[in-house]
Amino acid sequence: SQAPNSVVPKSTGRRTTLLAHCPDNSHVGLMAILYNNIGKDLSRVSMPAPLNEPINLLQRLCEELEYSALLDTASRTPDPYQRMVYIAAFAISGYSPAIYRNRYKPFNPVLGETYECVREDMGFRLISEQVCHHPPISACHAESDNFSFWQDQRWKNKFWGKSLEIVPTGMVNVKLPSYGDHYEWNKVVTCIHNVLSQQRYLEHYGEVTITNLNSNVCTCKITFVKSRYWGSETSKNEVQGTVLDQSGSVIHRFGGLWHEGIYCDTLPTPECIWKPNAQPKDYLLYYGFSTFAIELNELSPDLLPLLPPTDSRLRPDQRMLEEGQVDESDKKKDEIEEMQRERRKQMTKRGEDHQPRFFKKAKDASGRDVWITNGSYWKLRENPGFANIEKMALW
Ligand code: PIF
């Protein structure tokens, strides 16, 4: 017998669970780590493996495409204001996994680490690469018949004693070839509340502005509302947004909760424009991952010969953690970090700078430095194939 709300997922032939449960990390002395490093940039502090989930920041960028169907819908929506509503829903949907992800942090990829994700069923393929180590910068690029999606994200941490703010910089970009649109928007702050206790939870707050660089017909403003100290439970995780025309008049209004769904009652038929997929069975035992997240680090036999050795799926400490070998993972993480330090030392000696393989530095329309794809990944994968390329061993 099934619970009334349970959804039997369509079979994709992908794995539906992980091999091992997530470890109990309540003994990890995060307090000592944070207090010993007060005033220090936390991205320069090595964290123990059991604090991690077996997904890294490159894969997290891909996770933002879990609801890429919203971009497909936008690409088929002739009305530009309505189209913007779907783009906004997509921008919000990427924040939803945070509701279940309060106990672990993603792996920090090593410099030059890459990740690819081919989703024929969803119609896109993505690549990402760690292009800078300090500060950590991850770049990605995805393409499909209906859209392209790219961003480069760097993070800053601000530790306030009880909470830790993750402040991202870098813009998200989406192009819809069917209408010649190029949308661009910023990200909001994610705050880890009660960072030192098991009552840890995540909150997003701030304003997102979406503009279309190829048309000034409309813009969109989204507010992730900061919960007040005396706020009731129900005021948590609220988002509100408006689509404005050139004169600043509101054409559409939408809102809801970023973990539950977004409604728009100004559309021709008022509708729920997005709600998250049902979580898989026993998700709390598996890092709070969604089905899509479980699939991110899957290494299928047919994929193995096609991947470059820099792909995150081949990173041993992350795989060990996923398989429940926590102590081994922790030891391996140290070794991998040490190898990276050694490579860095050698490069400095030679007076060289690291050059990312698949992304190049460019200026965006506003003159900001950005990392964009150099277009070589899928070509090299096909010919001569990564097995035939001389490459850099990362671990
Ligand atoms: C190591 O990364 P960690 C450090 O960067 C270390 O300095 C470096 O040595 P080096 C190692 O090579 C690295 O492996 C530290 C830091 C990394 C992020 C962004 O993996 C976090 O050990 C985004 O981690 C978090 O972590 C989003 O930065 C959460 O990965 C929603 O700052 C942090 C994490 C903050 C702790 C949060 C804990 C909450 C559970 O000698 O080369 O410098």
> pLDDT digit string (tens) for 319-335?
999 999 999 999 999 99
Say how many Å lie between the CA of residue 41 and the centre of ligand 1. 10
Q: Answer yes or no: is pLDDT of 41 > 90.
A: no
Say how many Å lie between the CA of residue 263 and the centre of ligand 1. 36
Q: Residue 49 CA to chain centroid, in angstroms?
A: 19
User: If DSSP codes are grouped into helix, strand and coil, which group holds residue 373?
Assistant: strand
- Per DSSP, the residues of 243-289 read EEETTS-EEEEEEEETTTEEEESSSSS-EEEE-PPPPPTTGGGGTT-
Helix (H) or strand (E) holding 210: strand 201-212
Q: Are 128 and 62 in contact (CB under 8 A)?
A: yes
In ligand 1, the atom with minimum distance to the C-alpha of 51 is 40
Q: Are 283 and 100 in contact (CB under 8 A)?
A: yes
Pick the CATH number of 30-296 from 3.40.50.1370, 2.30.30.60, 3.30.565.10, 2.40.160.120: 2.40.160.120
Q: Answer yes or no: is pLDDT of 12 > 80.
A: no
Helix spans in the chain (H): 30-36, 57-63, 69-74, 80-93, 291-296, 316-322, 326-350, 377-382
The single-letter code of the amino acid at 294 is I
In ligand 1, the atom with minimum distance to the C-alpha of 190 is 31
Q: Which residues contact 192 (CB under 8 A, 6 or more apart)?
A: 102, 163, 164, 165, 166, 200, 201, 202
Give the whole-angstrom CA distance, residue 174 versus residue 29.
41
Helix spans in 265-352 (H): 291-296, 316-322, 326-350
pLDDT of residue 234: 53
Query: In terms of C-beta density within 10 A (0-12 exposed, 13-18 middle, 19 or more buried), how is residue 367 classed?
Result: exposed
Least confident interval from 22-26, 34-38, 136-140, 170-174: 34-38
Say how many Å lie between the CA of residue 338 and the centre of ligand 1. 14
Token pair of 260, please?
Answer: 């539950």
Give the whole-angstrom CA distance, residue 167 versus residue 126.
24
| Closest C-alpha to 222, from 243, 196, 192 | 243
pLDDT of residue 388: 87
Identify the residue whose tokens are 């990200």. 187
- Smallest CA separation from ligand 1 atom 13, residue: 46
Average pLDDT, the chain: 94
Give the whole-angstrom CA distance, residue 234 versus residue 240.
14
CA distances from 41 to 50, 164, 367, 380 (A): 21, 12, 27, 37
Q: What is the pLDDT of residues 338-373, one digit of tens each?
A: 999 999 999 999 999 999 999 999 999 999 999 999
Largest CA distance in the chain: 66
Query: In terms of C-beta density within 10 A (0-12 exposed, 13-18 middle, 19 or more buried), how is residue 300 classed?
Result: exposed
Residues pairing with 210 in the sheet: 185, 220
244 φ/ψ angles, rounded to the nearest 5 degrees? -115, 145
Name residues contacting ligand 1 (CB within 6 A). 42-47, 51, 57, 105-108, 136, 155, 157, 164, 166, 190, 192, 195, 337, 340-341
DSSP state of 27: T
Q: Which of 47, 53, 191 to mutate to test the pocket of ligand 1 (most atoms within 8 A of CB)?
A: 47
- The complex's ipTM works out to 0.93
Segments of the chain assigned to CATH 2.40.160.120: 30-296
With bands split at pLDDT 50, 70 and 90, how would you rate the model's confidence at 261?
very high
pLDDT of residue 10: 60
What percent of the chain is predicted at pLDDT more than 90?
84
- Smallest CA separation from ligand 1 atom 30, residue: 108
Q: Which residues contact 149 (CB under 8 A, 6 or more apart)?
A: 65, 68, 71, 124, 126, 140, 141, 142, 143, 172, 173, 174, 175
In ligand 1, the atom with minimum distance to the C-alpha of 30 is 38
Say how many Å lie between the CA of residue 211 and the centre of ligand 1. 32
Query: In terms of C-beta density within 10 A (0-12 exposed, 13-18 middle, 19 or more buried), how is residue 17 classed?
Result: middle
**Average pLDDT for residues 195-202, to the nearest whole number?**
89
Q: Answer yes or no: is pLDDT of 121 > 50.
A: yes
Identify the residue whose tokens are 């100004």. 266
Identify the residue whose tokens are 């206790």. 197
Q: Residue 38 CA to chain centroid, in angstroms?
A: 27
